[in-house]
Amino acid sequence: MSNLPHHHYLSLSLYPLSSSTIDSLKSLGDLPVFGRGEKNKASKVTVGNRYDCLVRLLSSLIALTKLSTEVGLYRSMKTSAFSGSEVSYRVFKFVSGYLVDEGYLIKVEGEWLEGMASTFYITEKMVEWCRDNEIAPRDFGLVNLVRAKYPSYYNEKGKKVQGKPVADISTSGDYQDQVRIVSDINHYLIKHSLSTPFVGLFRSFSNYQDDEKKLTDGGRLYAEGGSYQSLNSEQRLALKIDGECVAEVDIKASHLTLMCFVARMLDNSVPELDPDKDPYHIEGLPRPIVKQWIVAYSAKLKPLTRWSEEATEKLSEQGVDVIDYEVEVVGKAVSSKYPFIYTLPSTAVNWGYLQRREADALIATMRRLAHEYDVPSYPVHDSLIVKQSDIFLVTRVMKESFSSIIGLTPVLKVLTSDEVVI
């Protein structure tokens, strides 16, 4: 696995599984230092926040690096990056600085994301301290298993601004049920091994409204700290589960498939997508430009008037310059091939609805595989990473789950490091 990047996002959502481990981690903080204020003594609240941050930071450092000094954990040090975080910017800066001064941590400023984030590495001193205190990565678990964000919006410059995290969703409808579902999946996966740092999954909902308190949109599963989901396709296919080579079972054109399904529910004269043809193939247009237009359109179900900065960057990475493809021209070509696209009412389907239905079906697949067949699976948006020996079982269960939850049988594509299997 030497070809995999040794960087992961520094989350603060891990916590010790026992009170004894909490006490051990707190012992690393020198009380006279933690009790020091800028001029006088720090308040009890500030001292408490510093020790809580120490526990959270050490938990993440130990669990995500698996006590390897070669694994870097990156995090933006902008104050805005701590909005909605478990700890404040000032407290994090104080505690991380303390660990650096004491020789337990190395901070490399601007090493990740073009200078926008700093990367942290544990030292041999940290590794030795953990060994002396019999503390291991398995002593920590993921908290905040279910999260939500407020709706995204576009600023005055037309740039998309991601919705901020919601501080507390514990009173939201079906919150406890969702926590139990994600906890169930994590407890099963912890019995298996993945050949890259992995501590668990959390479920993230979108477009949260304080007045409604409902978890309705989005709902995909994300790996804490990025983990395997931050790898590209080639790197993911080089992974191993329990020492066995993997495959990725992917839903072909998932958003387009779901939109077509909804259109057929409203009008049964709408033809099904041809499973033997590439749904993104339109003569004269690059496949990435067609796919990007459909994905962008599904977010609002409104004709696109321009390519967003995000779309422009993604397409540029694939060697496509949007200047050569006017968004209106692409829209006409897509709607000519799929006339139902412009007939879908936004009240019947939207991005959040599509993603929630897809996520529910994928989670149902994972739970069936785990409890009925003892087969581990790791989600990547609309696909699952599984052992190669489980490919045909997984494809059958996935089709059955989607048919049961949504009412459609998806067309699947299976990739391995060598070839496309299906």
- From first to last of the 422 residues of the chain, give the pLDDT tens digit: 344 456 778 888 899 999 999 999 999 999 999 999 887 889 999 999 999 999 999 999 999 888 999 989 988 888 877 876 789 999 999 999 999 999 999 999 875 444 457 899 999 999 999 999 999 998 998 888 999 999 887 777 667 778 888 888 989 988 999 999 999 999 999 899 999 878 899 999 998 988 889 898 899 999 987 889 988 899 999 999 999 999 999 998 888 888 888 888 888 888 888 878 888 999 999 999 999 999 888 877 778 889 988 889 989 989 999 999 999 999 999 999 999 888 876 655 667 777 888 999 999 999 999 999 999 999 998 899 999 999 999 999 999 999 999 888 888 999 998 866 66
Q: Which two tokens stand for residue 78?
A: 């902008």
Would you state the pLDDT for residue 248?
Answer: 97
390 lies in a domain? no
376 lies in a domain? no
Would you state the pLDDT for residue 114?
Answer: 45
Q: Which two tokens stand for residue 364?
A: 């149902």
Cα torsion through 108, 113, 115, 120, rounded to 10: -10
326 lies in a domain? no
304 lies in a domain? no
Total domains in the fold of the chain = 1
Give the CA distances from residue 85 to residues 13, 58, 144, in Å, rounded to whole numbers and listed in that order. Answer: 9, 16, 11
Would you state the pLDDT for residue 113?
Answer: 47
pTM of the predicted structure, to 2 decimals = 0.79
For 182-205, b/e burial (b = at least 16 CB within 10 A) is bbebbebbeebebbbbbbbbbbbb
Contact present, 11 and 144 (Cβ < 8 Å): no
201 lies in a domain? no
Question: In the chain, what is the greatest distance between 2 CA atoms, to the nearest angstrom?
Answer: 76
Would you state the pLDDT for residue 161?
Answer: 78
Tokens 């933690």, residue?
34
Contact present, 318 and 288 (Cβ < 8 Å): yes
Q: For residue 198, which amino acid is it? A: F
65 lies in a domain? yes
The burial class, CB within 10 Å (0-12 / 13-18 / 19+), for 422 is middle
93 lies in a domain? yes
For 75-88, b/e burial (b = at least 16 CB within 10 A) is bebeeeebeebbbe
Would you state the pLDDT for residue 177?
Answer: 95
Contact present, 306 and 267 (Cβ < 8 Å): no
341: three-class secondary structure by DSSP = helix
Would you state the pLDDT for residue 1?
Answer: 39
98 lies in a domain? yes
**What is the DSSP secondary-structure string of 172-211?**
STTHHHHHHHHHHHHHHHTTS-BSS----EEEEEES--TT
Would you state the pLDDT for residue 117?
Answer: 78
Range of the structural domain that residue 115 is part of: 1-143
